[in-house]
């Protein structure tokens, strides 16, 4: 017994010496022994906080739009520390920070290990490897983005940001997408410009829901930006006056990449139109007319009939419906038509819904594909008009890239990609000559601002957009293919 007492006294003396002369060795009862500590596998996870967002302690709310998961902050060799972004509640000035609930510290505060203010946020965040801490892609210069980290320290995350020289593959791919980017509207679950250059306004209550994030298993799914074709469009600029010419210079716009989905081919609908009005310094991409018939077949319009003349059985509850054959006796016994009842009630017999007698047919007037047109105007003179016949299908997500092939400042070649495939090259084309434009729209044509005595004018875009980017550098085929693959994953098409 005396021997064990002496051992206990020695351990206490050792702990006291370490606490006095090497305080960073001990932290909340856990000894920092490195990755080889044999007992680290037995360190329990916190039972009071975890993936369930409702498990946050009082006074804090989790922000699910950022990283949340188990990692190894204590450097024990096992992922037992739960880290996430939280915001204080019940205060006049809410504070947002990144915190970790350390494994093996049950009963202690779950937000003690945290980042120090101020904290620059980024949706492209992750936990770095090799004890690099909490990392994310941050804008470091006008057109420069880097992966920066708050390093892991004994008392919390360090305030000084360090560059992550070996980011994971998905972050490396995002850094490739950021390279040369002047605007990036993802429309996954917000309407922010991830290049942080645009000022955005909308009409018709156009918006993207932010919460809760949509997920398919562990993978996020984009909500996308949906236009109703009636009164919704977006106007953008690089300042409060909603004009281009400061950080977004159209003279150096060498590539545009976007996903588009046409719900309906409204007349001359423009995906984007940057200009100073109708036929004045315009850079525009849209369809011609209301589309044309083609081999691509959209979902059936239920208002159409067979061959355009004959009609199928109408959909319930409109009109007469096929009913199961029964005898009058059965009807008398099983419905309110029973003559033995002394009260007269309303009919209650409804026919059973059956498939139409004839298969549904195409509307002869419905357009299934549309010609895509790209134009560049120099003041009142149209310099470029490229028409891609039947390039845009109806009710189908389509990826479009328009990019220069070289650094020619005057007459570069233009390449057009549809869903990652080269479909056309325009030799010795043109670049925009005006650096700043005053009316820059998504989903609206500048021609709609002019009053005209002519009918059949341009109409608003009706459909959805996703992942709209502008680059001051060309996009090569590798970057285009990675962009298409990345977009398919978020759209659930992969």
The domain that holds 399 is classified in CATH as 2.60.120.200
Per the domain annotation, does 314 fall within a domain?
no
Residue-range definition of the domain harbouring residue 376 = 180-297+365-491
Residue 215 clears pLDDT 80, i.e. is over it:
no
- pLDDT value for 320: 59
Residue 39 clears pLDDT 90, i.e. is over it:
no
What span, in angstroms and rounded, lies between the C-alpha atoms of 57 and 54? 9
Residue 210 clears pLDDT 80, i.e. is over it:
yes
Per the domain annotation, does 10 fall within a domain?
no
Decide if 203 contacts 443 (C-beta within 8 A): no
- The pLDDT of 212-216, averaged and rounded, is 78
Confidence of residue 400 (pLDDT cuts 50, 70, 90): very high
State whether 87 and 192 are in the same domain: no
Could you say which of 166, 196, 221 is where a domain stops? 166
pLDDT above 90: percentage of residues in the chain = 61
Could you say which of 166, 201, 223 is where a domain stops? 166
DSSP, collapsed to helix, strand or coil, labels residue 77 as coil
State whether 103 and 220 are in the same domain: no
Total structural domains within the chain: 2
- The pLDDT of 459-481, averaged and rounded, is 97
- Give me the phi and psi of 330, to 5 degrees please: -65, -40
Which residues fall within 8 angstroms of residue 115, CB to CB, at 6 or more apart?
A: 97, 98, 99, 134, 150, 156, 157, 159
Per the domain annotation, does 318 fall within a domain?
no
- pLDDT value for 336: 58
State whether 369 and 475 are in the same domain: yes
What span, in angstroms and rounded, lies between the C-alpha atoms of 364 and 205? 34
pLDDT above 70: percentage of residues in the chain = 75
Per the domain annotation, does 211 fall within a domain?
yes
- The pLDDT of 389-408, averaged and rounded, is 94
What are 18-30's pLDDT values in tens digits?
A: 555 554 444 443 3
- pLDDT value for 95: 95
Whole-model pTM?
0.79
- pLDDT value for 424: 97
State whether 282 and 396 are in the same domain: yes
Per the domain annotation, does 320 fall within a domain?
no
Could you say which of 166, 194, 224 is where a domain stops? 166
State whether 146 and 277 are in the same domain: no
- pLDDT value for 457: 87
- pLDDT value for 30: 39
What are 113-149's pLDDT values in tens digits?
A: 999 999 999 999 999 987 789 999 999 998 999 999 9
DSSP, collapsed to helix, strand or coil, labels residue 241 as coil
- The pLDDT of 406-414, averaged and rounded, is 87
What are 62-98's pLDDT values in tens digits?
A: 998 999 999 999 888 889 999 999 999 988 899 999 9
Question: Average model confidence (pLDDT) for the chain?
Answer: 84
- The pLDDT of 29-35, averaged and rounded, is 40
- Going by the DSSP 8-state scheme, the letter that residue 267 receives in this structure is T
Per the domain annotation, does 347 fall within a domain?
no
Confidence of residue 35 (pLDDT cuts 50, 70, 90): very low
The upper half-sphere exposure of residue 178, i.e. CA atoms within 13 Å in the direction of its Cβ, equals 24
- pLDDT value for 410: 80
Least confident of 12-26, 208-222, 295-309, 374-388: 295-309
Residue 463 clears pLDDT 80, i.e. is over it:
yes
- pLDDT value for 376: 96
Which residues fall within 8 angstroms of residue 163, CB to CB, at 6 or more apart?
A: 146, 147, 148, 149
Residue 2 clears pLDDT 60, i.e. is over it:
yes
State whether 162 and 280 are in the same domain: no
What are 239-263's pLDDT values in tens digits?
A: 999 999 999 999 999 999 999 999 9
- pLDDT value for 164: 94
């Amino acid at each position: 017994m005396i021997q064990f007492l002496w051992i206990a006294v020695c351990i206490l003396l050792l702990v006291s010496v370490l606490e006095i002369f090497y305080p960073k060795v001990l932290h909340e009862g856990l000894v920092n022994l490195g990755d080889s500590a044999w007992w680290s596998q037995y360190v329990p996870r916190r039972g009071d906080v975890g993936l369930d967002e409702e498990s946050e302690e009082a006074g804090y709310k989790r922000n699910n739009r950022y990283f949340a998961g188990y990692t190894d902050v204590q450097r024990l060799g096992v992922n037992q520390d739960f880290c996430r972004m939280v915001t204080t509640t019940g205060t006049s000035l809410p504070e947002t920070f990144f915190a970790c609930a350390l494994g093996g510290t049950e009963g202690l505060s779950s937000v003690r290990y945290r980042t120090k203010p101020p904290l620059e946020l980024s949706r492209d965040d992750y936990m770095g490897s090799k004890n690099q801490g909490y990392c994310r892609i941050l804008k470091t210069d006008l057109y420069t983005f880097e992966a920066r980290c708050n390093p892991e320290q004994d008392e919390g995350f360090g305030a000084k940001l360090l560059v992550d020289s070996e980011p994971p593959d998905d972050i490396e791919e995002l850094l490739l997408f950021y390279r040369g980017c002047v605007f990036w509207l993802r429309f996954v679950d917000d309407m922010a410009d991830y290049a942080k250059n645009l000022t955005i306004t909308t009409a018709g209550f156009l918006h993207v829901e932010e919460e809760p994030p949509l997920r398919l298993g562990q993978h996020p799914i984009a909500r996308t930006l949906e236009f109703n074709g009636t009164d919704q469009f977006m106007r953008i600029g690089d300042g409060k006056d909603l004009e281009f010419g400061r950080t977004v210079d159209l003279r150096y716009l060498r590539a545009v990449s976007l996903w588009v989905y046409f719900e309906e081919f409204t007349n001359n609908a423009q995906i984007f139109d940057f200009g100073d009005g109708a036929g004045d310094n315009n850079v525009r991409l849209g369809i011609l007319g209301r589309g044309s018939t083609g081999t691509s077949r959209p979902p059936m319009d239920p208002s159409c009939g067979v061959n355009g003349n004959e009609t199928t059985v109408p959909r319930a509850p409109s009109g007469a419906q096929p009913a199961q054959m029964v005898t009058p006796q059965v009807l008398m016994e099983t419905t309110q038509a029973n003559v033995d009842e002394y009260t007269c009630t309303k009919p209650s017999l409804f026919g059973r819904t059956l498939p139409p007698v004839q298969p549904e047919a195409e509307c002869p007037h419905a357009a299934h594909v549309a010609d895509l047109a790209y134009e560049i105007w120099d003041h009142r003179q149209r310099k470029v008009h490229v028409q891609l016949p039947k390039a845009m299908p109806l009710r189908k997500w389509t990826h479009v890239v328009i990019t220069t092939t070289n650094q020619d400042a005057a007459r570069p070649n233009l390449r057009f990609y549809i869903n990652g495939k080269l479909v056309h090259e325009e030799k010795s084309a043109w670049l925009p000559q005006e650096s700043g434009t005053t009316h820059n729209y998504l989903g609206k044509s500048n021609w709609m601002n002019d009053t005209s005595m002519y009918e059949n004018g341009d109409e608003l875009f009706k459909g959805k957009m996703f992942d709209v980017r502008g680059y001051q550098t060309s996009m090569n085929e590798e970057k285009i293919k990675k962009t298409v693959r990345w977009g398919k994953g978020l759209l659930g098409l992969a």
